Copies of this chain bind each other. A is one copy, B any other.
Amino acid sequence: MRRSVSLSIAMASSLGVCRLHMRGRGGLVKSLRRVQTFVHRNTGTVVAAADGDPLRKEATDEKHGRRSLSAVQAERQGQAERSVLISCNPRTNEKKFLKFLSRHGDVSKYFFYESYGIYALVEFTKRESVASLLEEAAIPTVSHEALVPFKTRLLSLKNIDSVGSTNQQYQPQTTAPINQLIQRLSREESIDRQVISLTESYQLTEENSRLRFLVCSLLQDMVAAYFPECAIKPFGSSVNGFGKLGCDLDMILDLDSISGRKAKTPKSASSLEYQLKRASTERAVTQSILSVIGECVDQFGPGCVGVQKILNARCPLLRFAHQPSSFQCDLTANNRVAVKSTELLYLYGQLDPRVRFLVFTVRCWARAHGITSSIPGAWISNFSLTVMVLFFLQRRSPPIIPTLDHLKGLAGPADKSVIEGNDCTFVSDFSRIQLRSNTETLEQLLCEFFDFYATFAFGKMSINIRKGKEQNKPEVAPLHIQNPFEISLNVSKNVNATQLGRFVALCQESSWLLQQVETATPTGGAAGNTPRPWGLAALLQPSQVAEIKSRKKRRREPASERIRTLLESLKNNKQPNKS
């Protein structure tokens, strides 16, 4: 280990929004503590600490953070149901606003943010308060226009006294631009600190997470009108622990609780059945339901714009932008394998904090270089990238995370899950999972990650987190990553040779950069002047390789001296170890 690490974990949010502070040995650290967090976690022991010692809190928070995703979701859903979204005036007096709200009950949480105007998310202690608030809300009077009288928990505040100072603090709902991030990282004193800082800058905040669940809850109000037993839940990045501030909100309409109640009466007895509309397939039913919800969102939903019904996709979906939250929303139905994937990723992220740090870093790095994109195409997806990180962490020695087959072996009877013929069983009780004692630093892991994929035998091998070992490719595809649950599917089927080539070249370049003294050591940013990007910050800068390649294509210009060195070292593939 090049740098010793002090980990102080504060699981700020129950959604696994970890703030793990790693401090380099030569840094500003006042007390140097070496906390074997991973080991404690594995054995379940809690670090002994005097009262007031931050470690006590950390241990508790950690426990809190390791609740199952469904428990976390249930809590968040409860919060969302007690919440309203209120459009405010930028000069709304916060004190008076709270006094106004308190007439309806205790406010347990509130915050302001900006999205096409100023909004406040207000969570009451009791659900009755929301009912009381809505009871008082009026239908606005408009001239020259008409209104669809569809009432939701999206409100507007009128005529609040705007005297006094405007002391609103706006909670950010998007990440800072990459340039600002590069500047911030360049000031850090170690690559470990850089990785942590990047994650802290990019991860979902407590507030953003609440907003996501509230948007689901608002949509559920709409759908529950027709399917009272249904639930709309976020899945994917919004809840798997790897979501970036500003990422899309993927939602699933869970109709299982309805369709699950089959006729039970014995054949001889009389019974009643609901008369239901029939469709040829489950898919057709899903399309019907999404179509109606789409109409409703489009015609009635305040702040919902750009509604697209993408019903002929492999997984039919409804896409729309929710302006009051700025979320790009995708709603699918009965997409249960996706929910299982989310739970698996969440579990891996909870097992060891280094998982989340590495995934955030690799995702951010990939996006900075256009390896991933928000537009569908032959690019590597964030999900593929995450599975690649997980696979890499399974391949460490000792492994940092277990294989999916191992997690399946630990499963109890209640964990049994077969979805459309796919075995999606894995353990849900975190305490059963025993981890091996790997103490590699984030810097080491980052370097090794780039090395690992710079030299991976993509041509022959398939990435397989179920086995935790590369397997022979079952089919021809530039990149083959076995879908963890639908094992006959290739997660990265869409990726073409060009995109895989770019990824490999960038891994090589990044690995090289992390081994050069001038790019891999802190440059010091004391006097407020912007330091030269180094370490992770250097990796996020526009690629030299890409630059050269695109130039070559254009005019075949001679490469500069520095770039030639880089390219030669890449050709060798075996770089000398950094001193």
Binding site for B on A (CB under 8 A): 86-87, 96, 100, 133, 136-142, 145-152, 154-161, 222, 225-227, 255, 258-259, 261-265, 267-285, 288-289, 291-292, 295-296, 299-303, 324
Contact = CB atoms under 8 A, between A and B. Distances in A.
Contact of A302 (B148, B276, B285): B276
B155 A284 contact: no
Contacts of A282: 146
A178 to B, nearest CB: 34
A303 B302 CA distance: 32
Nearest to A158: B271
B148 A272 contact: no
Contact of A300 (B161, B258, B292): B292
Contact of A272 (B133, B145, B275): B133
A391 to B, nearest CB: 37
A275 B87 CA distance: 9
A144 to B, nearest CB: 8
A145 B273 contact: no
A280 B146 contact: yes
A269 B159 contact: yes
Contact of A145 (B160, B278, B289, B301): B278
A272 B157 contact: yes
A273 B155 contact: yes
A157 B272 CA distance: 5
A138 B272 contact: yes
A277 B136 CA distance: 19
A89 B155 CA distance: 51
B146 A275 contact: no
B226 A139 contact: no
Could you say which of A151, A263, A265 has the most chain B C-beta atoms within 10 Å of its C-beta?
A: A151
A422 to B, nearest CB: 19
A273 B277 CA distance: 38
A100 B133 CA distance: 45
A149 to B, nearest CB: 4
22 contacts: A136-B272, A137-B272, A137-B273, A138-B265, A139-B263, A139-B273, A140-B273, A145-B278, A146-B280, A146-B283, A149-B227, A149-B255, A151-B274, A152-B274, A159-B265, A159-B269, A159-B271, A276-B302, A277-B301, A292-B292, A292-B300, A295-B296
Closest 4 pairs (CB-CB, A-B): A225-B225, A138-B263, A288-B299, A149-B258
Contacts of A222: 226
Nearest to A133: B272
B155 A276 contact: no
Contacts of A154: 274-275
Given A86-B272, A145-B280, 17 more contacts: A133-B272, A138-B265, A138-B272, A140-B274, A145-B279, A146-B284, A147-B277, A147-B285, A148-B289, A150-B277, A156-B275, A157-B270, A158-B265, A159-B269, A226-B300, A275-B324, A288-B299
A222 B282 CA distance: 22
Nearest to A269: B159
Contact of A288 (B148, B263, B277): B148
Contact of A276 (B139, B263, B273): B139
A299 B292 contact: yes
Contacts of A283: 146
A138 B273 contact: yes
Contacts of A270: 96, 100, 157-161
Contact of A226 (B142, B150, B265): B150
Contacts of A160: 270
A95 to B, nearest CB: 12
A255 B300 CA distance: 14
Contact of A264 (B138, B150, B281): B138
A291 B302 CA distance: 17
Contacts of A292: 292, 295-296, 299-300
A14 B147 CA distance: 37
A579 to B, nearest CB: 62
A278 B255 CA distance: 31
Given A138-B262, A141-B263, A226-B296, A272 B150 contact: no
